[in-house]
Structure 1
Amino acid sequence: MDSTGRHDRAYEFKTLFLLALGFGLVGLDRWMVAPLFPYMMRDLGLNFQQLGNLIGVLAIAWGVWAIAIGPISDRIGCKRILVGTMIAFSLLSGFSGMATGYLSLLLIRGIMGVAEGAFTPASVAATGEASLPSRRGFNLGLQMSTFSLFGMGIAPILATQLLRVLPSWHWVFLVSALPGLIVAALIAKVLHDRPQRQETNLHVHRPKTQWRAMFRSRNVIVAMLGMLCAMAGIFVIGAMVPSYLVAVLHLDTQSMGFVASALGWGGFIGSFALSGISDYIGRKAAAIGAFAGAAALLFLFARTGANPTMLFVLLFGISMCSIGLLSLLSGPIATEAAPAGLIASTIGLVSGIGEIFGGGVAPAIAGYIAQNFGLPHVFDFALVGLVLGVFVTAALVETAPRRRYAAAASGEDPQRVA
């Protein structure tokens, strides 16, 4: 609101622009390591197990801090967290280029996960506060979609092109720190925290029965399990595809960057499309269809040779379904399943648990599989996760308003809508 009490449209769009850009840089800094890993592997003597661990430690730290940071940002405001964490993860991305071995790189990536995990809920809350209610859903979807666009779409192309003009991969990481520092300065100048309210702390100490109520909701449990399946699919694929394209299919650097970028472009579209489609066909049908589609496309991808165009198309579809599922499960499904007054907590729980186990543990397991049984077998592991997701989401209770209203009008029990 401006000084007259009217909604400040200019501030809304400036906030959305900066935080969408910031969330995109979170994705860029997080996923830059995957397309650069074949070169880091050679210089630092790393292996595929260690790649899985590097992806996993960041995800685990991210998940823990994404769950924990909400009460802190409520007390001190979002702005200080956003500025501080953006400076931190940008510098840590640069420090990744200065790592001399596996342990130093593991430590840097773990701390980076703390900063990025803390940035995420604060940025979503700040965008929600700045948005006109009628635009809030669209704004949040746009903000979160930039993670895929930058992290899996732009990062592979940018990293591989920078390798052509910079002396080594070390310099690519150092250069990647600069945009985040610039955006942090702009956030510090533009954003302002909402006035602190005395009632803010009334919600800090909730009765335990209220938290247990989340686990009494069938769809909360299904959404958590579904997130594990979806993340076990897309995060394993995102971590291992660049190395697979170079080491197994023997694509050149630029072709690898082109194919791997399909993850980001597909995820960017899927973040909007799947949730939108679910408004019409239902959350359950959309989730089952997306898991089945991703599994079928991954099966074909793993059996396609060195054909960059076909690989791009298949990977685009896999990402559109899988990353679309992350938005669907942690967005509409979690929101509609949340007990009264616990919407943010439910979303944090679903996304945080998925991040810790699906995004953290699964890539580490995939790294072990790649190291001991061969890189192509990681796709079998991801495929199992996606197939399991079909059966998990079959247990959803339909909550899409259009579907429930139609069921009620026809005299059908809305709780039994398929």
Structure 2
Amino acid sequence: MKTNMQTQKWDTSYEWKAVLLLSLGFGLVGLDRWIIAPLLPSIMKDLSLNYQDVGVIFGALGITWGIFAIISGNLSDKIGHRKILIPSLIIFSLASGFSGAAAGLTSLIFIRAIMGVSEGAFCPTSFAATAAAAKPSRRGSLQGLQQSGFALFGLGLGPIIATQLLLVVPSWREVFWVVAIPGIILSVFMYFIIREPQNTQGGQALHEVVTGEEKQKVNWLALLKTRNVLLSMLGLFCTMSCVFVISAMVPLYLQNYLNLSSQNMGIVVSAIGFGGFLGQFLVPAASDFIGRKMASFLGFLGSTIFIWLFANAEASVLSLFSLLFVLSFFSLGLVALLSGPIAAESAPIGLVASSIGLVVGAGEIFGGGVAPFLSGVVAEHYGIQNIFYLSLIGTVVGMILSLFLVETAPRKVIASASNPAIESKKVSDV
């Protein structure tokens, strides 16, 4: 069978159509999730919210996202990708719209928690679907490309879209309904194009290249015992403690502590999205060549340096934008690397989406749920300028964890296959 897979012409038409749709889908995940950030000054005023309330809102979404990423990742391995992807896309789009109908803190938390459920279901399933569509030699690049839509739409274009829409709609409430529409349209295209993994060349090649074994039943304990899966879970927690703290709190830090105008704040915050967009594509792409382990270590090192520089920068728009751009390049690039190719390539047979779901879920629960809540508490009681210490601790720990990863990049693994001692160690470690 492997010989047939190697000689058969690769279906690039499906590969690129699937990746395009899944990239747009995950871009809408980012847009619907983060469109709230630039609207927070207005929302906080209208609903009488404080910093701690903001942390709870973001934390509620992160925790439900994490829980259902684990559940749905495993479920999609059993029932298929399409039955998860299409309904979840419709539900989180509607939840985005209903965010504009929130009457107070409780209803907004409830609506955003529902959004977390559906986006959590979409996330690992879409990563696995991309892995199933991608040719192994470019899996890291295409998974990075798919995940880069999150940063581009949610954190780059989101602030621009939000502020421009406020010029033509009555209030922040209508903004949520406008951004909900594209998801409904995209779900129709997915219905006609996305295939199940057993009907794709990449879905078969993923299992053959990574394991070379026949499909077998693997339980959760076996998944947790896989070194790279465990390290990816911890590593994603570390980088998300950076990503979600800066994404949720930096707009308020810039406006309330550094006293930037709302327009200048919007310019600086857009650096998170544009830097993250490049990082989510280029960091996994680079890992195809330099290896997953080296890319992870360099990503955490860069994040550590630039979170410190940003926290100590003066109120200069150009300086803040530049530092935040590079910081986001590294930190969001790590999100794509750890939850994409490393998680997929380390998964036991039949548990690709489960592996990704477990990694994403753990990272979301602690990094996307607990970290924003803690940053809200720190900001409310100790000053918003101290939130960056949480991120700094996370990136330093992540840098240490990267040293223990087992290399899984196909180019690196194939290159080392001629050395039996190295190959034996890799197999025993994984």
Shared fold, TM over 0.5 = yes
Q: CA deviation at 1:370?
A: 0.7
Residue in structure 1 matched with residue 206 of structure 2 by the alignment? none
Q: Which of the residues 165, 169, 190 maps onto 1:166?
A: 169
**Partner secondary structure for residue 404 of structure 2:** coil
Which residue of 2 is the match for residue 153 of structure 1? 156
Structure 2 counterpart of 1:50 = 53
1:394 maps to what in 2? 403
Would the aligned equivalents of 1:282 and 1:403 in 2 still touch at CA under 8 Å? yes
Q: Identify which of 178, 199, 218 aligns with 2:181.
A: 178
Give percent identity, aligned residues only.
50
Q: Aligned equivalents of 1:319 and 1:268: distance in 2?
A: 8
Report the residue type matching 2:38 in the other structure. Answer: P
In structure 2, the CA distance between the partners of 1:204 and 1:102, relative to structure 1 (3 Å rule), is farther
For residue 101 of structure 1, what is the amino acid of its counterpart? Answer: G
Contact 1:94 1:176 in 2 (8 A): yes
Q: Does 1:106 align with 2:114?
A: no
Q: By how many angstroms is 1:184 displaced?
A: 2.4
On the 8 A contact 2:143/2:284 being kept in 1, the answer is no
Q: Which residue number in structure 2 is paired with residue 91 of structure 1?
A: 94
Change beyond 3 A, Cα 1:119–1:216: closer
Query: In the alignment, which residue of structure 2 is the partner of 1:27?
Result: 30
Letter in 2 for 1:258: I
Equivalent residues of 2:128, 2:344 under 8 A apart: no
Contact 2:125/2:353 (CA < 8 Å) preserved in 1?
no
Q: Distance in 1 between matches of 2:409 and 2:124?
A: 25
What amino acid is the match of 2:376?
Answer: G
Alignment partner, residue 38 of structure 1: 41
Q: Residues 19-418 of structure 1 correspond to what in structure 2 (within 5 A)?
A: 19-74=22-77, 76-130=79-133, 137-191=140-194, 206=217, 208=219, 211-400=220-409, 413=422, 415=425
Counterparts of 2:231 and 2:386, CA distance in 1: 27
Contact persistence 1:62–1:114 (CA under 8 A): yes
Give the CA deviation at 1:394: 2.6
Mean Cα deviation higher: 395-404 or 378-387: 395-404
Stretch moving more, 154-163 or 65-74: 65-74
Q: Is the 8 A contact 2:74 2:354 kept in 1?
A: no
Counterpart residue type for residue 230 of structure 1: T
CA distance in 1, matches of 2:59, 2:152: 21
Distance in 2 (alpha carbons) for counterparts of 1:390 and 1:134: 26
Change (3 A) 1:136 1:290: closer
> What whole-Å deviation, never above 9, does each CA across 1:318-359 have from its counterpart, x for those lacking one?
111111111222233334443455443322222211111111
- Identify unmatched segments of 5+ residues in structure 1: 197-202
Pair 124,289 (structure 1): closer, same or farther in 2 beyond 3 Å: closer
* Matched residue count: 405
Residue 126 of structure 2 aligns with an amino acid whose one-letter code is S
Query: Aligned-residue CA RMSD in angstroms?
Result: 3.0
- Please give the TM-score of this superposition, normalised by the length of structure 2: 0.84
Q: Which moved more, 1:402-411 or 1:360-369?
A: 402-411
CA contact (8 A) 1:32 1:155 kept: yes
CA distance, structure 2, for counterparts of residue 27 and residue 119 of structure 1: 12
How far apart are 1:109 and its partner, in Å? 0.2
Structure 2 segments unaligned to the other structure (5+ residues): 1-7, 200-213
Structure 1 113/250 Cα, relative in aligned 2: closer, same or farther at 3 Å?
same
1:123 to 1:206, Cα distance in 2 relative to 1, 3 A: same
On the 8 A contact 1:161/1:254 being kept in 2, the answer is: no
- Give me the whole-angstrom Cα distance separating, in 1, the residues matched to 2:285 and 2:318: 28
Contact 1:231–1:359 (Cα < 8 Å) also in 2: yes
> Which 10-residue stretch deviates more, 278-287 or 264-273?
278-287
Moved more, 250-259 or 76-85: 76-85
Question: Contact conserved, 1:234 with 1:323, CA < 8 A, in 2?
Answer: yes
Label 1:329 to 1:132 Cα distance change in 2 as closer, same or farther (>3 A). closer
The 8 Å contact of residues 22 and 180 in structure 1, kept in 2 or not, is answered as yes
- How far residue 44 of structure 1 moved from its aligned partner, in angstroms, is 0.8
